[in-house]
């Protein structure tokens, strides 16, 4: 609930008439003003406290969003550790809740992997075959959630999100694309799709409401290639062929935009998925297309200056 | 105290504009679709492809207007018939027409994806057909221009499970001149309904027979010079 996506989901859930009490756990405080939700600031490694809070609350629906994308808020090793800790604690605690009916977990289309001859646009029926650390992380979350759900007899659904971009969303892809000079693979320049955080949040609310029982891809319609995204953002494209990517990655890390394995994979092998089932299963589909999301990425202000408010010249009193 | 460095946005944009301006007409920033096909690139390349293949198209009324279909075309070795059939049908119908048979290695696989190629994988073809795409697949390559090779029943199975029509498209081109022909036949239907895997096997065989019949009706290449026509047969 502390991350941008978690806060967004919580604020949308607060407006839903079918939602009674709402409780959230995160290591960071919420980024939005929440009126009804109760927030607990707990480290993902503090399993005992997480179990206490979750079992005391005894939810009907558990939405597990605690996924640390590598190089978004933490490096790959830390991201893996935090995600693993949070998954074990949250899903383990969920299994102890007698009223639980449904679990919805966050996953990613990185789960399909981009091996040679892997499908251009996999749908939900394609078996997971992750080829990046992030893909393996989300695969593990889905596996654990399914095992827990089977054991206690509740529904489990996974939302496989395309790379999430949006204002304030920490994303290694978004950060890289906003650099003044952006590398791209001149030999491949494959297409990829993304999804906006608001659309992803709506999908989670719908999944919780409908008690989702299967994995669903959440992907904005349309696609762009790396070069097209760079040109839309009026950045300087840097064509790379192969070995110089190592140097480019190091340089990018130094200037504050590390390029993790799954983003490298996206830039070299593309990342598309078939998101058509979301509309029929969830009843919602992403409102913004991939090119629109990319355009909005470049439209954000780099620095928002908050000026000191001017004192009013006169004070009016209305009775 | 932290020091805030702001990106010189205008300078970056000016540089980017200066760098990309010469390439902008060739690299539009919004034309790639959900399968990676670049419509702009296809429109740019098709006139160049017409320098090699001047394709006359017949039987367009057999193609569905909106839903997907699997189009099966014959292929003489090294004739690249799926490429020019897909290009000609796309140009004639105004719909993107994809074709099966790209590798997955850059730069050739990536380049073929940009002109509409799909992997030679039944699941990939099924996904495209289910979403209403027209997909061209080739029969097994032959050495004779008027022989239809065997049809891959696994790819036909993708059409069966997607519930779309399988349509034969006879293609013919000459290695010596630009003349090429793509004749779309009526959708192939089986007399006997099958529920199991026999459906795709029998449909693949029937498609090969239909294709052969259309090729026989088309006759050979006629340039007016008997010797060249005879060479074109091989």
SS (H, E, C) A95-162: CCCCCCCEEEEEEEHHHHCCCCCCCCCCCCCCCCCCCCHHHHHHHHHHHHHHHHHHHHCCEEEEEEEC
pLDDT band per the 50, 70, 90 thresholds, residue B234: very low
Look at residue A48 and tell me if it is in a domain: yes
- pLDDT digit string, tens, across residues A31-68: 888 888 899 999 999 999 999 999 999 999 999 999 99
pLDDT greater than 90 at residue B68: yes
What is the model's pLDDT at position B102? 87
What is the model's pLDDT at position A304? 62
Look at residue A282 and tell me if it is in a domain: yes
What is the model's pLDDT at position A14? 93
pLDDT greater than 90 at residue B106: no
pLDDT greater than 80 at residue B219: no
Asked if B123's CB is within 8 angstroms of A119's CB, the reply is: yes
Range 106-135 of A in CB contact (< 8 A) with B: 116-123, 126
Asked if A302's CB is within 8 angstroms of B110's CB, the reply is: no
What is the model's pLDDT at position B134? 97
Mean pLDDT of A185-210: 95
Look at residue A207 and tell me if it is in a domain: yes
For the entire predicted model, the pTM comes to 0.88
Strand duo A191-192 + B54-58: pairing: unpaired
Average pLDDT of the residues of chain B: 88
Name the residue among B32, B35, B104 with its Cβ closest to that of A224.
Answer: B32
Mutate to test the interface with A, among B113, B122, B127 (most CBs of A within 10 A): B127
What is the model's pLDDT at position A319? 39
Name the residue among B6, B36, B107 with its Cβ closest to that of A223.
Answer: B36
What is the model's pLDDT at position A172? 96
Name the residue among B16, B28, B119 with its Cβ closest to that of A119.
Answer: B119
State the DSSP code for A199: H
What is the model's pLDDT at position A314? 47
Q: Which of A187-191, B51-55, B208-212, B222-226 has the lowest mean pLDDT?
A: B222-226
Asked if B121's CB is within 8 angstroms of A117's CB, the reply is: yes
Mean pLDDT of A200-220: 96
Task: State the CATH number of the domain containing residue A122.
Answer: 3.40.50.720
Does the domain formed by B30-233 have CATH 3.30.565.10? no
Domain range spanning residue A155? 4-169+193-222+274-287
Query: What is the count of structural domains for chain A?
Result: 1
pLDDT greater than 50 at residue A307: yes
Residue (of A115, A314, A261, A85) closest to B119 by Cα position:
A115
Asked if A120's CB is within 8 angstroms of B119's CB, the reply is: yes
Say how far residue A81 (Cα) sits from the centre of its chain. 17
* Cβ neighbours of residue A263 closer than 8 Å, sequence gap 6 or more: A71, A172, A173, A176
What is the model's pLDDT at position A308? 64
Domain segments of chain B as ranges: 30-233
**Adjacent-strand bridge partners of B184:** B169
What is the model's pLDDT at position A166? 86
Look at residue A184 and tell me if it is in a domain: no
In angstroms, rounded to a whole number, what is the distance separating the alpha carbons of residues B148 and B211? 6
Mean pLDDT of B116-142: 95
Look at residue A185 and tell me if it is in a domain: no
| H helix runs in chain A, sequence order | 4-14, 47-57, 76-94, 133-152, 172-177, 197-210, 226-232, 244-254, 261-269, 277-282, 290-299
What is the model's pLDDT at position B221? 60
Going from the C-alpha of A125 to that of each of A121, A275, B6, B39, B199, the distances in angstroms are 11, 12, 46, 28, 23
- pLDDT digit string, tens, across residues A79-128: 999 999 999 999 999 999 999 999 999 999 999 999 999 999 999 999 99
Asked if A227's CB is within 8 angstroms of B27's CB, the reply is: yes
Q: What is the ipTM of this complex?
A: 0.83
pLDDT greater than 90 at residue B99: yes
In angstroms, rounded to a whole number, what is the distance separating the alpha carbons of residues A136 and A104? 18
B118, closest residue in chain A (CA to CA) = A120
């Amino acid at each position: 609930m502390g991350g941008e996506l978690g806060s967004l989901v919580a604020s949308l859930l607060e407006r839903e008439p079918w939602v009674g009490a709402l409780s959230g756990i995160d290591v960071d405080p919420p980024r939005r003003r929440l009126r009804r939700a109760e927030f607990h600031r707990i480290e993902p490694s503090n399993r005992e406290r997480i179990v206490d809070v979750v079992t005391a609350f005894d939810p009907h629906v558990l939405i597990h969003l605690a996924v640390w994308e590598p190089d978004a808020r933490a490096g790959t090793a830390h991201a893996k550790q935090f995600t693993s800790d949070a998954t074990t604690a949250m899903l383990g605690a969920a299994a102890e809740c007698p009223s639980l009916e449904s679990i919805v977990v966050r996953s990613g289309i990185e789960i399909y992997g981009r091996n040679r001859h892997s499908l251009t646009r996999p749908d939900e029926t394609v078996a997971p075959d992750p080829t990046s650390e992030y893909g393996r992380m989300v695969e593990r979350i889905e596996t654990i959630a399914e095992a827990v759900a089977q054991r206690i007899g509740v529904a489990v659904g996974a939302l496989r999100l395309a790379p999430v971009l949006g204002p304030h969303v920490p994303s290694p892809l978004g950060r890289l694309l906003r650099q003044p000079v952006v590398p791209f693979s001149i030999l491949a320049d494959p297409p990829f799709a993304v999804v906006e955080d608001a659309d992803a949040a709506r999908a989670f609310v719908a999944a919780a409401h409908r008690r989702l029982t299967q994995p669903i891809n959440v992907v904005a319609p349309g696609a762009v290639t790396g070069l097209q995204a760079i040109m839309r953002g009026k950045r300087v494209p840097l064509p790379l062929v192969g070995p110089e990517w190592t140097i480019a990655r190091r340089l990018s890390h130094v200037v504050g935009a590390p390029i993790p394995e799954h983003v490298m994979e996206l830039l070299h092998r593309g990342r598309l998925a078939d998101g058509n089932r979301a509309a029929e299963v969830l009843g919602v589909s992403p409102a913004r297309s991939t090119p629109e999301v990319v355009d909005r990425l470049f439209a954000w202000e780099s620095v928002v200056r908050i000026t000191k408010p001017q004192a009013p010249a006169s004070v009016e009193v209305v009775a | 105290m932290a020091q805030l460095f702001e990106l010189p946005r205008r300078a970056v944009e000016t540089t980017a504009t200066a760098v990309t301006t010469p390439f902008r007409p060739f690299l539009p920033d919004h034309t790639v679709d959900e399968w990676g096909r670049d419509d702009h690139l296809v429109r740019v390349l098709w006139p160049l492809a017409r320098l090699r293949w001047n394709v006359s198209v017949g039987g367009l009324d057999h193609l569905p207007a909106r839903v997907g279909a699997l189009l099966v075309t014959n292929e003489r070795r090294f004739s690249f018939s799926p490429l020019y059939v897909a290009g000609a049908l796309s140009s004639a119908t105004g719909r993107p027409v994809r074709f099966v048979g790209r590798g997955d290695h850059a730069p050739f696989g990536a380049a073929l994806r940009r002109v509409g190629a799909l992997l030679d994988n039944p699941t990939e073809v099924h996904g495209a057909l289910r979403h209403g795409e027209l997909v061209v697949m080739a029969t097994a390559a032959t050495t004779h221009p008027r022989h239809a090779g065997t049809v891959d029943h696994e790819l036909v199975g993708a059409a069966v499970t997607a519930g779309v029509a399988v349509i034969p498209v006879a293609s013919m081109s000459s290695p010596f001149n630009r003349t090429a022909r793509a004749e779309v036949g009526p959708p192939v239907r089986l007399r006997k309904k099958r529920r199991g895997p026999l459906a795709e096997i029998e449909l693949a065989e029937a498609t090969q027979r239909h294709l052969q019949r259309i090729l026989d009706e088309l006759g050979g290449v006629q340039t007016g010079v008997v010797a060249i026509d005879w060479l074109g047969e091989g």
